[in-house]
Amino acid sequence: MTRQNRNAEVDFRGVKRSNATHVSTTDPDARLYKKSPGTGAMQCFIGHALMENRSGLIVQGDLTRADGRAEPRAALDMIHRHSPGSTRRLTLGADKGNDATGFVTDPRQACVTPHVARKSKHSAIDGRTTRHESHARSQKHRKRIEEAFGWAKTVGGMARTAYRGIERVRSRFILTMVANNLARLPRLLAA
């Protein structure tokens, strides 16, 4: 007995997977993305958030198609939207994946000091940034952004969204980050 509408038997062993070979039948906007070495690639979008370090509140969020350069590009876009023409010096904490010359020099032109974790070799962050105590403080606080993403996946339902299409998923992601802020407010007001 054979089933109708069944996927064809294809052996992908030894074949490099790409967005050309693996297209989602339910959401054509989703792209293959591999978060880290040793993990499998999944079809997904990638969410980005800009957090205020002192309170841990999300001040901006965005969702883009997943690719290898989406994270730094979205971070720079959010910085430019957050502080257009600002004369007040801001800092931007980020992980080692953003330790690249373009990501470090562009925020400096926008009056933002990049507090990026340094790579062990060939770092774009120099001593003029890392010698200050504020750099170490930013590195400590930047990990709090993961709490918002954890909350979004476990409580907010973003681990497996019911929506299809980048605009709908983006709206759901931003609404989930707003809900995370609302959940944090009572503790912040009590302190």
Instruction: Indicate the CATH number for domain 31-190.
Output: 3.30.420
Length of the chain: 191
8 A C-beta contact, residue 30 and residue 16? no
Helix or strand or coil: residue 26?
A: coil
The identity of residue 11, as a single letter, is D
Structure tokens at 116: 């990026």
Q: 14: alpha, beta or left, given left = phi > 0 and alpha = psi -120 to 50?
A: left
Give 48-106 pLDDT, tens digit per residue: 888 887 788 888 889 988 877 777 788 778 877 876 666 667 777 777 777 777 777 77
Taking the whole predicted model, whether its pTM rises above 0.85 is answered as no
By DSSP bridging, strand 31-33 and strand 90-94 are unpaired
> Which of 131, 96, 90 has the alpha carbon at shortest distance from 113?
90
pLDDT digits (tens, 9 = 90+) for 120-165: 777 777 766 777 777 777 777 777 888 888 999 999 888 888 888 8
Could you state, in order of their start, the residue ranges of all structural domains in the chain?
A: 31-190
